[in-house]
Structure 1
Amino acid sequence: MPLGPGSKQLFYFMAVLRTGSIRAAAEASNVEPSVISRQIASLEADLGVPLLERRGRGVVPTEAAGLVLAYCQERRSGDEALRARLAELDGLGRGHLHIMVGEGLVDAFMDSVLIAFCERHPGVEVTVEIGGAGDAVRSVAEDRCHLGLAFAPPASAAVRVIRQRPQPVHAIMAPDHAAADLPAPLPLPALAAFACALAAPGTGLRTLIQTASDVDGIELRPAFVANTVAPLKRFALAGLGVTFLSAHAVAPELAFGRLVARPIANSILETSRACLIMRDGRSLSRAGARLLQIFDDTGFF
């Protein structure tokens, strides 16, 4: 059987790997579960090896499944590399670049890097997707995105960091909030006395805050939780309490004096970083290399 990223069998197989169950993959693909099951069974019969093992209500990949997935990723990369080389014959007048960017980084990325890239290479189709650090790592590892720009992404053997910059986490609050009068840098335990808004569990930012809290031996009990930056900013703007974000995430509000950012005396939060990631083993297309050059030229990293 000719294997390739466009195969219907492999499309459903990879959907099952992403979602963790045949039923979830069927819902995501808008087909009946029986369709997924038949395609997986056909693929296993063609390859002569089992690819999935049932665990409770879900499935887990076998060792053979990992090999098939790696093969598909390499094939997809090879196909994209060929298209990129063909586009080079047209002077980068064509091409496609798909990037997942953290919400707190998207404004700076657009203003400093992407607008300049689009002006110089209008023939390249650019897709920007907003997602958390974990989403960026998964999307890059699975070749659904060429690059990821994420704040404190979780470690993964499947991706590598190609550029990084310091991105300390600050305590963010309204100028008239009581915490704004504390001497900086603020001890994290002192902030535990105030109502706070935290990023949702599972996000890179929440994991970072939890690690920092563990280092200081405290527990931050949030009064408000959100999985995007905007509600966290609104909480602080309303004077309801303190939230924890990078200064870049609230740059407009800081510039107009609507919020203030105070450094925190915690080694984890002081040394956090924004990272540009790509799948390990993948080669940058010419469009990706041009984007990376603009990153360097503008001093983003």
Structure 2
Amino acid sequence: MRMPRGGARFVISFLALPIIIYVIFVIAPYLQAFYLALTDWKGITASPKFVGFKNFEVLFSDSVFWKAVLHHGILLLVLPLVTLIIALFFAFLLNMGAGTKGVRGSRFYQAVFFFPQVLAVAVIGVLFQAMYRPDKGGVLNGLLDLVGVEPIGWLTKPNLALWMLIAVLVWQAVGFYVVLFAAGMASIPKEIVEAAQLDGCSKGRMFFQVTLPLLWDTMQVAWVYLGIAAFDGFAIVQVLSVDRGGPDGSTTVLPLEIWRNAFTFSKYGYASAMGVALFVLSLTFAVLTLRVTRRERIEY
């Protein structure tokens, strides 16, 4: 179908301003970061010294960088998987299967699940600082004390702190995906569900053979979003972790190290090199995920 005369000009007139804004505020900063990664800029001099790939050579031999990458790997494996499993489970319970109107009060439950999404990170930090307090005054240790268990340093033990932060990230994220999946399940035509029930399909089989295939596109996007979130984690680590990424670097992540190198050590060139590495990791993950999980779209 050919575009009417003047149609292209009309479309361009609407797209020009958003594209210009996107280039100025998104593309240009990225390009500037790529350039700064090749310099030794300290944030003061007007003309930074060009050092080529020296920052990347230092970066790839930096044990803190690789420790942060390892933490992102753990986050990448655990955060999307656990969040999606819990969200799918609760969404299925709220809808009692695909294509139904849901249980009584499902709207209220969805609002309750979504509530952590509207809380500021500072508020979440205060809540979980009270939850994870290392003495008997903490919520978790208070419960353990009732059964005679000594208090545990949830955020002070290097082998435990990262998992406690992952739990916070899961708690914060689950509600959004419960609402997302519940909406997707509710939009599945009732006729498909009734046909499956007439064929003797149980609730379990219906979930795996009807609901999941029809929600595949939504799950694919959710996995990418959660994977990108796994490459972040800055705010929660900054607020909750001991000594910002501790103890002993056991919870550090790349965004935190970028912030530390830029605003604490004034190594803006090195911090930009870290940012470029983080950009490449995030983009690679998104492209590979979309490629590996691509499948034929089911129309209904």
TM-score of the two chains, using structure 1 as the length reference: 0.22
Between Structure 1 and Structure 2, the one with more helix by share is 2
TM-score of the two chains, using structure 2 as the length reference: 0.22
